[in-house]
Structure 1
Amino acid sequence: MTTPVDSSAVVDLLGALAYAELTAFDRLAEDARLAPTLTGRAALARMAAAEITHHVQLTDRLAELGVDPAVAMTPFVPALDAFHESTRPSTWLEGLVKAYVGDGLATDFYREIAAFLPDPDRALVLDVLADTGHADFAVREVRAAVKADRKVPGRLSLWGRRLVGEAMSQSQAVIAEHDRLAELIIAGTGDIRGVALLIERITSAHTKRMKALGLNP
């Protein structure tokens, strides 16, 4: 049974995720221009299209709750913008690793918290975070590059470690700066160590994603 939660915590999570989806759209659309092939460019464009669709779903729900989506998103702008500015890819492969690893970290973060939400909001968040299958493209491209050039694994492994470091800092900042989200996690887990355990699970999932790419975590 889901622990009753303050509706303001629901709004916080939906607002954070809505802005995350909006920035993901912007970033993927920009990164698509780095693609060496039209196939790659189209693949990232489709990922971007999925992100903006998710953004609309979340903002529609916020409006249903009587909340201005812009007001709900605004508190999360600094942390999310700082993450993307500090992890701007300089190559096509870095963009793919960020799309797979970086977005995967964010997805794990939001999915963990969503588990403590009541329906229909829990179902909405989990639907928005569901794998659309686009991740498979990133894995194929990166693994092919890793096999083709022995210099690639080391460089991209370092990039992946940087991504996880920045993402963890961002996640912890979001929790620390928004008491209602922290309270939601603690209430949901029933343990003051809930936040630390959440971070541990996200880190473990990151390790698996890096290995899937053929990189060292």
Structure 2
Amino acid sequence: MKESPGVVDLLGVLAYAELSAYARMTEDAATLAPSLADRAALSELAVTEYAHFRLLRDRLAGLGADPDEAMSPFVEALDAWHAQTKPADWLQALVKTYVGDGIALDFYREAARHLNPSIADLVDEVLVDGGRSQFAVERVRAGIEADPTAAGRLALWARRLVGEALSQGQQVASARPELALLLVESAGEGQADISRLFATLTEAHGKRMAAMGI
């Protein structure tokens, strides 16, 4: 069964995003986690990301698409995003996992809203939180309680992450117009519809910031 190029692009970018998240979380767990308990907890979350990658890879193959070819257009942009937002410490890594990845995943979720139910359900499944938010929020709040001065620098870091994520999204949309069309169709045709979309994304970001206390 063949799907539209936009659907293959969406599953391809999500698959590479999940594979990248697995690799990044594994590295952060090994190099930045301050305790064995934190290393184990983040490693478990990484395993979940890899399971999501496998679901997406298998669905792409089931649709008659080559998973490697579907992911390859997004490798450069996503690798650049991770290179430009490499965390310097444990708290920055957690904020990136929660805030930086969160706004990107919000875009993917919106793009899938009006797809056929089997694709939309798959996207919802791989974007499920899986305990990531609670893990990040609890540890960031504890870090700020131990060092209140951390709140300011983490707030600046979060703003940088969002800016880089939006820039990355623009690059991907420019390179893959079929994927951009899914987001436009989800938002609606009018300027008011698009404004509501960005208001929704901004509201979700604000809630994440508040949850962490920054």
In which range does the TM-score fall when normalised by the shorter chain? Answer: over 0.9
2:167 is aligned with 1:165: no
The whole-number CA distance in structure 2 between the counterparts of 1:109 and 1:117 is 14
Residue segments in structure 2 that go unaligned for 5+ positions in a row: none
The whole-number CA distance in structure 2 between the counterparts of 1:77 and 1:197 is 30
Contact 2:110–2:186 (CA under 8 A) maintained in structure 1: no
> CA deviation digits over 1:16-42, x for unaligned, max 9?
100000100110000002111111101
TM-score, with structure 1 as normaliser = 0.92
Cα distance, 1:204 vs structure 2: 2.2
2:11 is aligned with 1:9: no
Q: CA RMSD in A?
A: 1.4
> CA deviation digits over 1:147-202, x for unaligned, max 9?
11121101111111111110111112212221112222233333154555434422
TM-score, with structure 2 as normaliser = 0.93
The range that moved more, 200-209 or 9-18, is 200-209
Cα distance, 1:88 vs structure 2: 0.2
Residue segments in structure 1 that go unaligned for 5+ positions in a row: 1-5
**Secondary structure of 2:117 counterpart:** coil
2:154 is aligned with 1:153: no
Letter paired with 2:210: K
**Secondary structure of 1:120 counterpart:** helix
The whole-number CA distance in structure 2 between the counterparts of 1:73 and 1:171 is 15
The number of equivalent residue pairs is 210
Structure 1 runs of 4+ off > 6 angstroms? none
Percent identity over the alignment is 53
1:52-131 pair list within 5 angstroms: 52-131=50-129
> CA deviation digits over 1:49-88, x for unaligned, max 9?
0000000000000000111100000111111111110000
Aligned to 2:18: 21
